[in-house]
Chain A
Amino acid sequence: MIAYVIRRLLIASTVILGVSVLVFLALHLAPGDPVDMFLSPEVALRASPEQIEQIRAQWGLDKPLHIQFYDFIVRIVHLDMGRSMRTNRPIAADLALRYPATLELGLVSLLLANVVGVVVGVASATRRNSAIDNTVRPLSFVGVSLPGFWLGLMLMLLFAYHLAWLPASGRGGPLWTSAGLRHILLPAVTMGMGSAALLVRLVRSSMLSVLNEDYVRTARAKGLSERVVVYRHALRNAMIPVITIIGLQVGAILGGAVVIESVFAWPGVGRFMITAINGRDFPVVQASVLVIATTFVLVNVAVDIVYAVVDPRIRYS
Chain B
Amino acid sequence: MSQDTTMSVSRSGWARFGVQVRKSLPAKVGVLILFVLTLMILLAPQLSTHDPIRQHLRHRLEPPSADFILGTDHLGRDIFSRVVYGSRISVSIGAAGVLTGMIIGIGLGLLGGYYGGNLDHAILWLCDLLLAFPGILLAITIMSVLGSGIINVVIAIGIWSVPTVARLTRGQVLSLKSAEFIDSARAIGAGDARILSVHLLSNTFGVLLVFATMRIATAILTVAALSFLGLGIAPPTPEWGSMVAIGREYIREAPHVITAPGIAIFLTVMACNFLGDTLQDALDPRMVGRE
Are A and B part of the same complex?
Answer: yes
- Report A's interface with B, CB cutoff 8 A: 11, 14-16, 18-19, 22-23, 26-27, 29-31, 37, 138, 141-142, 144-150, 153-154, 156-157, 161, 205, 250-252, 254-256, 258-259, 262, 273-274, 277-278, 282, 285, 289, 292-293, 296-297
Q: Quick check: is B208 within 8 A (CB to CB) of the other chain? A: no
Q: Quick check: is B229 within 8 A (CB to CB) of the other chain? A: yes
Total interface residues on B, using CB and 8 Å?
43
Report whether B228 and A157 are in contact in the complex, using a CB–CB cutoff of 8 Å: no
Q: Which of A31, A205, A282, A285 contacts B146 (CB 8 A)?
A: A31
Q: With a CB–CB cut-off of 8 A, which chain B residues contact A145? A: 217, 266, 269-270, 273
Mark B131-149 against chain A: 1 for CB-CB distance below 8 A, else 0: 0111111001111111000
Task: Say whether, besides A161-B251, A258-B137, A297 and B225 are in contact (CB < 8 Å).
Answer: no
Min CB gap B129→A, angstroms: 4
Task: Say whether, besides A141-B274, A142-B270, A149 and B145 are in contact (CB < 8 Å).
Answer: no
Task: Say whether, besides A254-B137, A293-B133, A147 and B128 are in contact (CB < 8 Å).
Answer: no
Measured CA separation A262–B116 after assembly (Å): 43
Min CB gap A124→B, angstroms: 13
Interface centre among B144, B248, B269 (most CB of A within 10 A): B144
Q: With a CB–CB cut-off of 8 A, which chain B residues contact A144? A: 273
Measured CA separation A160–B69 after assembly (Å): 28
Min CB gap A191→B, angstroms: 11
Q: Which of B132, B141, B255, B269 contacts A297 (CB 8 A)?
A: B132
Report whether B266 and A147 are in contact in the complex, using a CB–CB cutoff of 8 Å: yes
Task: Say whether, besides A15-B129, A153-B251, A251 and B258 are in contact (CB < 8 Å).
Answer: no
Question: Which residue of chain A is the closest to B258 with respect to CB atoms?
Answer: A153
Report whether B225 and A141 are in contact in the complex, using a CB–CB cutoff of 8 Å: no
Min CB gap B239→A, angstroms: 13
Task: Say whether, besides A145-B270, A254-B134, A254-B135, A277 and B252 are in contact (CB < 8 Å).
Answer: no
Identify the 6 closest CB pairs spanning chains A and B, nearest first: A255-B135, A251-B134, A150-B262, A145-B270, A145-B269, A18-B129
- Report B's interface with A, CB cutoff 8 A: 26, 125, 128-129, 132-137, 140-146, 217, 221, 224-225, 228-231, 241, 244, 248, 251-252, 255, 258-259, 261-262, 265-266, 269-270, 273-274, 277, 290
Min CB gap A33→B, angstroms: 13
Min CB gap B264→A, angstroms: 10
Q: With a CB–CB cut-off of 8 A, which chain B residues contact A142? A: 266, 270
The A interface, classified by DSSP as helix, strand, loop or mixed, is helix
Q: Which of A27, A255, A285 contacts B134 (CB 8 A)?
A: A255
Report whether B129 and A141 are in contact in the complex, using a CB–CB cutoff of 8 Å: no
- Give me 8 other A-B pairs in contact (C-beta within 8 A), A147-B221, A150-B258, A254-B134 excluded: A15-B129, A22-B129, A145-B273, A148-B225, A250-B134, A252-B135, A255-B134, A277-B144
Report whether B132 and A147 are in contact in the complex, using a CB–CB cutoff of 8 Å: no
Q: With a CB–CB cut-off of 8 A, which chain B residues contact A292? A: 133-134, 137
Measured CA separation A274–B270 after assembly (Å): 27
Report whether B224 and A255 are in contact in the complex, using a CB–CB cutoff of 8 Å: no
Q: With a CB–CB cut-off of 8 A, which chain B residues contact A259? A: 136, 225, 228-229
Question: Which residue of chain B is the closest to A138 with respect to CB atoms?
Answer: B26
Interface centre among B134, B217, B259, B262 (most CB of A within 10 A): B134
Q: With a CB–CB cut-off of 8 A, which chain B residues contact A156? A: 251
Q: With a CB–CB cut-off of 8 A, which chain B residues contact A258? A: 135-137, 140, 229
Measured CA separation A55–B290 after assembly (Å): 63
Q: With a CB–CB cut-off of 8 A, which chain B residues contact A274? A: 140, 229
Task: Say whether, besides A146-B266, A147-B224, A150-B266, A293 and B128 are in contact (CB < 8 Å).
Answer: no
Task: Say whether, besides A19-B133, A149-B244, A30 and B140 are in contact (CB < 8 Å).
Answer: no
Task: Say whether, besides A258-B140, A259-B225, A293-B137, A150 and B265 are in contact (CB < 8 Å).
Answer: yes
Measured CA separation A14–B124 after assembly (Å): 13
Measured CA separation A95–B230 after assembly (Å): 22
Min CB gap A292→B, angstroms: 6
**26 A–B contacts from the bound complex (CB under 8 Å):** A11-B128, A15-B125, A22-B129, A26-B141, A26-B142, A141-B26, A141-B274, A142-B266, A145-B217, A145-B273, A146-B269, A147-B225, A147-B265, A149-B225, A150-B261, A150-B266, A153-B248, A154-B259, A251-B134, A258-B136, A259-B225, A259-B229, A273-B140, A274-B140, A292-B133, A292-B137
